[in-house]
């Protein structure tokens, strides 16, 4: 920017003494100045406006208008303030000097004049004048700039006292200091005063600009946001410019909400949760803190969406999110004295996750999870519909189950899958061996699905014999998976998984159908009533329409119902007594017989069995195994046989492998036997040859084995 007054070399002199004027003019012109001289103050005032000199020299005593008065008048003229005016006084008295300054003079010279240095003196006065001029301009400019800004400016002392205050326009909330040197503590709320002082100190220490965002609460609890910049100034003072950024903050928050929150439930989303968890981990790292991750997935939620529509599903998710929120908070505050912050988020779909800080007691976490289960399980009502949503919950803990957010989430997820596998509506803690197993399981599950689709399942048949006659009394159908690798995978390795994944339903149906067809085929080919026993898993019993499936299998195979026996485990009986009795009554009515498999491994007492319409009791292999070796097993076996008979049930021993076992069982009055001693499970054609054809083996119990 250029200066408003161009540098010039014009000098205006007013003196009533012509000699004096002459000498001055000569001295100055010699040094290249352009001089205009007049003989009184009035003329000087007149000449000033045309000339706009670089300096004015005024004699004190002049006719018409003296030096002091002329000085005053010139100061009032345009440009009159910026030009140095020097009063030349003949008297060296303090009064004249004071009067000169009072009149607005810049400096004074005394007569007699020291001519050798006169011109130099004038040059210095001119230079100081233009420096002053520049300074004034720059100050004016700064002031204008400050005024042009809406910000409020505060100048702080190093101790945080307000030295100067320039109020801005937009600061509804920022208080006005009531007086100078008021301290920050008096000026601002405590919390804000503190951070101001911290920023002030940092600016002083580093000499660099510091920024600070802070907020103040308005009358109606409205929040105003501000940005303060602390700029080092002179003399250890700090200039603070404060601008209001309420609107910007709101916009930022809106953007943040859109990017970090799930619009359906209002919960943080996966992205936000990850970042939050990473932060929590960082903090926990330094203080040895613990964090637990609860991964909550709703069971069969897809079904709600598929059958009732997405709008409906959304409503359910909102209701669930709300429950989850309340439930975690309440449970935590009840079960622990103190706990850190917690984060709840929706990861997407029907998956939610909570991070709980500061709780490491597994029992507490289990109770939190248990409460979530109970709370979610309460029926949800939504536009006239009411139904139950259950969760599967996986728990992983920092640091033992994962040291970063990624790992923790993954492992909580794995544990959640484990919970699902355990029949849903349950809770599992992550354990290190899980991943490997889960992966293997996942692989197996895929293969099993393919096996079902490709018809790679097969039934093998194991004979059962009447212990008193030695006659073939029946056959048990046992499932085999002919794996692509060539081998058979035994059912123990895949039945549980088939149950967990629901695959057991189509598999079970297939087993029933195949076994019924086989029994019918043997019946018509060999004209023998051979009862086929089929194992039924509890999922099949409760989740499918078992009666319908059985009727259909019998009907399609044209098999007499009394040639079908169902092997149930004790756990099925224990689950829902009235339901079970109803189903069993129905089956019994049509002629199907019921056996209790693996008896002795469950918890049911014999008297409990009285309530069910059963036909046969199968003593578990584990007891039979050791009856000749362990007295207690022998005692259990004989007790089971005796009491079963009292209840009118037949007894069969499974897993019979030695003659000694046969002898013992016969001694106790056991009715039937099954085991490798008489025949392993074999494919249907082999079974035919060995046990049904005319050439079939005759089992001589005395010499068997």
Give contact residues for Mg ion (rule: CB under 5 A). 535, 567, 597-598, 654
Q: Is 63 in contact with 37 (CB distance < 8 Å)?
A: no
449-473 burial, b at 16+ Cβ within 10 Å, e below that, comes to eebbeeebbebbbbbbbbbeebebb
Token look-up 């907020």 returns 215
Q: Whose Cβ is closer to ligand C2E: residue 202's or residue 682's?
A: 682
Residue 317 interaction partner, one of ligand C2E, Mg ion, none, beta carbon < 5-8 Å per kind: none
Q: Is 600 in the site for ligand C2E (CB under 6 A)?
A: no
Q: Is 421 in contact with 329 (CB distance < 8 Å)?
A: no
* Rounded alpha-carbon distances, angstroms, from residue 540 to 326, 534, 549: 36, 12, 10
Q: Whose Cβ is closer to ligand C2E: residue 535's or residue 544's?
A: 535
Q: Whose Cβ is closer to Mg ion: residue 315's or residue 655's?
A: 655
CB count, 10 Å around CB of 28? 22
Tell which one of 17, 657, 663, 697 touches ligand C2E (CB under 6 A).
657
Residue 492 interaction partner, one of Mg ion, ligand C2E, none, beta carbon < 5-8 Å per kind: ligand C2E
Q: Is 423 in the site for ligand C2E (CB under 6 A)?
A: no
Q: Is 591 in contact with 562 (CB distance < 8 Å)?
A: yes
Which one, of 443, 276, 281, lies nearest residue 344 by Cα?
276
Please identify, among the stretches 264-272, 434-442, 586-594, 655-663, the one whose residues bind ligand C2E according to the rule CB under 6 A: 655-663
Q: Strands 564-568 and 593-599, how do they pair?
A: parallel
Q: Is 359 in the site for ligand C2E (CB under 6 A)?
A: no
Smallest distance from the beta carbon of 596 to ligand C2E, in angstroms?
A: 11
DSSP strand E in 415-529: where?
A: 427-429, 457-466, 472-482, 488-489
Listed in sequence order, the DSSP H helices in 168-222 are 184-187, 190-206
Q: What is the enclosing helix (H) or strand (E) of 555? A: helix 546-557
**Token code pair at residue 563:** 């040639």
Of residues 516-535, which lie at the interface with ligand C2E (CB under 6 A)? 535
Q: Is 567 in the site for ligand C2E (CB under 6 A)?
A: yes
Q: Is 679 in the site for ligand C2E (CB under 6 A)?
A: no
How long a stretch of residues is the chain? Answer: 705
Smallest distance from the beta carbon of 618 to Mg ion, in angstroms?
A: 6
DSSP strand E in 167-266: where?
A: 182-183, 210-217, 223-232, 238-244
Q: Is 506 in the site for ligand C2E (CB under 6 A)?
A: no
> ∠618-620-622 over CA atoms, to 5°?
160
Binding footprint of ligand C2E, residue count (CB under 6 A): 24
Q: Is 115 in the site for ligand C2E (CB under 6 A)?
A: no
| Backbone angles phi and psi of 549, in degrees to 5 | -60, -40
Residue 675 interaction partner, one of Mg ion, ligand C2E, none, beta carbon < 5-8 Å per kind: ligand C2E
Sheet holding 34-38, edge to edge: 34-38, 10-14, 55-59, 85-89, 107-110
Q: Whose Cβ is closer to ligand C2E: residue 425's or residue 654's?
A: 654
Q: Whose Cβ is closer to ligand C2E: residue 268's or residue 463's?
A: 463
Sheet holding 291-298, edge to edge: 342-348, 351-357, 291-298, 391-398, 427-429
Q: What is the enclosing helix (H) or strand (E) of 652? A: strand 650-653
Residue 537 interaction partner, one of Mg ion, ligand C2E, none, beta carbon < 5-8 Å per kind: ligand C2E
Smallest distance from the beta carbon of 391 to Mg ion, in angstroms?
A: 34
Q: Is 455 in the site for ligand C2E (CB under 6 A)?
A: no
How many whole angstroms separate alpha carbon 115 and alpha carbon 255?
76
Tell which one of 232, 289, 399, 491 touches ligand C2E (CB under 6 A).
491
DSSP state of 471: -
Per-residue contact flags (x/-) with ligand C2E for residues 606 to 645, judged by CB under 6 A: ---------------x------------------------
Q: Whose Cβ is closer to ligand C2E: residue 409's or residue 673's?
A: 673
Q: Whose Cβ is closer to ligand C2E: residue 200's or residue 514's?
A: 514
Q: Whose Cβ is closer to ligand C2E: residue 188's or residue 677's?
A: 677
Q: Whose Cβ is closer to Mg ion: residue 363's or residue 492's?
A: 492
Smallest distance from the beta carbon of 475 to Mg ion, in angstroms?
A: 11
Smallest distance from the beta carbon of 567 to Mg ion, in angstroms?
A: 4
Of residues 387-416, which lie at the interface with ligand C2E (CB under 6 A)? none
Half-sphere exposure of 555 (CA within 13 A, CB side): 7
Q: Is 479 in the site for ligand C2E (CB under 6 A)?
A: yes
Please identify, among the stretches 19-27, 119-127, 204-212, 674-682, the one whose residues bind ligand C2E according to the rule CB under 6 A: 674-682
Q: Is 462 in the site for ligand C2E (CB under 6 A)?
A: yes
How many whole angstroms separate alpha carbon 686 and alpha carbon 518?
13
Q: Is 397 in contact with 403 (CB distance < 8 Å)?
A: no
Q: Is 495 in the site for ligand C2E (CB under 6 A)?
A: yes
Instruction: State the greatest distance between any 2 C-alpha atoms of the chain, in Å, as a whole number.
Output: 164
How many whole angstroms separate alpha carbon 372 and alpha carbon 393?
9
Smallest distance from the beta carbon of 679 to Mg ion, in angstroms?
A: 15
Q: Whose Cβ is closer to Mg ion: residue 262's or residue 620's?
A: 620
Tell which one of 235, 288, 455, 492 touches ligand C2E (CB under 6 A).
492
Q: Is 462 in contact with 674 (CB distance < 8 Å)?
A: yes
How many whole angstroms separate alpha carbon 186 and alpha carbon 169?
22
Tell which one of 654, 672, 688, 692 touches ligand C2E (CB under 6 A).
654
Q: Is 602 in the site for ligand C2E (CB under 6 A)?
A: no
Residue 511 interaction partner, one of Mg ion, ligand C2E, none, beta carbon < 5-8 Å per kind: ligand C2E
DSSP state of 398: E
Q: Whose Cβ is closer to Mg ion: residue 38's or residue 530's?
A: 530
Contact set with ligand C2E (CB under 6 A): 462, 478-479, 490-492, 495, 508, 511, 535-537, 567, 597-598, 621, 654-657, 674-676, 681
């Amino acid at each position: 920017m250029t200066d408003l007054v161009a540098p010039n070399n014009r000098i205006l002199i007013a003196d009533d003494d012509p000699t004096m004027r002459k000498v001055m003019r000569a001295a100055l012109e010699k040094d290249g100045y352009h001089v205009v001289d007049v003989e009184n103050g009035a003329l000087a005032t007149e000449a000033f406006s045309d000339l706009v000199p670089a300096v004015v020299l005024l004699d004190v005593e002049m006719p018409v208008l003296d030096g002091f008065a002329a000085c005053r008048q010139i100061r009032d003229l345009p440009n009159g303030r910026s030009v140095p005016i020097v009063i030349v006084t003949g008297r060296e008295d303090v009064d004249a000097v004071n009067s000169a300054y009072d009149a607005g003079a810049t400096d004074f010279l005394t007569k007699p004049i020291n001519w050798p240095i006169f011109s130099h003196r004038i040059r210095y006065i001119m230079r100081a004048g233009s420096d002053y001029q520049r300074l004034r301009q720059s100050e004016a400019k700064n002031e204008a700039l400050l005024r042009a800004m809406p910000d409020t400016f505060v100048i702080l002392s190093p101790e945080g006292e307000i030295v100067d205050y320039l109020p801005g326009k937009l600061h509804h909330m920022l208080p006005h200091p009531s007086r100078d040197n008021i301290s920050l503590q008096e000026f601002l709320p405590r919390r804000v005063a503190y951070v101001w002082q911290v920023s002030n100190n940092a600016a002083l220490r580093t000499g660099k600009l510091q920024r600070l965002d802070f907020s103040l609460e308005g009358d109606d609890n409205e929040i105003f946001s501000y940005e303060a910049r602390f700029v080092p100034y002179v003399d250890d003072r700090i200039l603070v410019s404060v601008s209001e950024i309420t609107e910007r903050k709101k916009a930022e928050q809106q953007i943040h909400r859109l990017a970090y929150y799930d619009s359906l439930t209002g919960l943080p989303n996966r992205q936000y949760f990850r970042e939050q968890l990473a932060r929590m981990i960082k903090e926990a790292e330094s203080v040895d803190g613990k964090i637990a991750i609860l991964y909550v997935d709703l069971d069969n939620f897809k079904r709600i969406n598929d059958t009732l529509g997405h709008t409906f599903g959304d409503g359910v998710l909102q209701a669930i999110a709300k429950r989850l929120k309340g439930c975690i908070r309440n449970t935590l505050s009840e079960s622990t004295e103190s706990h850190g912050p917690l984060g709840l988020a929706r990861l997407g779909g029907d998956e939610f996750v909570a991070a709980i800080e500061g709780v490491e007691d597994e029992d507490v976490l289990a109770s939190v999870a248990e409460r979530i289960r109970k709370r979610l399980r309460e029926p949800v009502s939504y536009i006239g519909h009411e139904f139950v949503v259950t969760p599967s919950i996986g728990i992983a803990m920092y640091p033992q189950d994962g040291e970063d957010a990624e790992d923790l989430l993954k492992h909580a997820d794995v544990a959640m899958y484990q919970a699902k596998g355990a029949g849903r509506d349950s809770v599992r803690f992550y354990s290190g061996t899980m991943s490997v197993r889960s992966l293997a399981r996942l692989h197996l599950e895929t293969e099993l699905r393919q096996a079902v689709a490709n018809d790679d399942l097969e039934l093998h048949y194991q004979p059962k014999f009447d212990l008193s006659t030695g006659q073939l009394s029946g056959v048990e159908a046992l499932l085999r998976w002919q794996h692509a690798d060539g081998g058979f995978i035994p059912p123990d390795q895949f039945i549980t998984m088939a149950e967990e994944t629901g695959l057991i339903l189509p598999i079970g149906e297939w087993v029933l159908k195949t076994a019924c067809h086989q029994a019918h085929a043997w019946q018509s080919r060999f004209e023998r009533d051979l009862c086929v026993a089929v194992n039924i898993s509890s999922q099949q019993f409760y989740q499918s329409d078992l009666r319908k499936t059985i009727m259909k299998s019998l009907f399609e195979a044209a098999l007499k119902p009394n040639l079908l026996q169902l092997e149930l485990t004790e756990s099925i009986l224990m689950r829902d007594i009235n339901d079970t009795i109803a189903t069993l009554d129905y089956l019994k009515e049509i002629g199907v017989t019921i056996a209790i498999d693996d008896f002795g491994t469950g918890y049911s007492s014999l008297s409990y069995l009285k309530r069910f319409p059963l036909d046969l009791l199968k003593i578990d292999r584990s007891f039979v195994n050791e009856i000749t070796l362990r007295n207690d097993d022998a005692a259990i076996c004989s007790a089971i046989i005796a009491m079963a008979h009292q209840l009118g049930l037949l007894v069969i021993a499974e897993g019979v492998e030695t003659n000694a076992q046969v002898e013992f069982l016969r001694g106790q009055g056991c009715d039937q036997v099954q085991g490798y001693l008489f025949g392993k499970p074999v494919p249907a054609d082999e079974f035919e040859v060995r046990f049904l054809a005319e050439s079939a083996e005759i089992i001589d119990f005395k010499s068997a084995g």
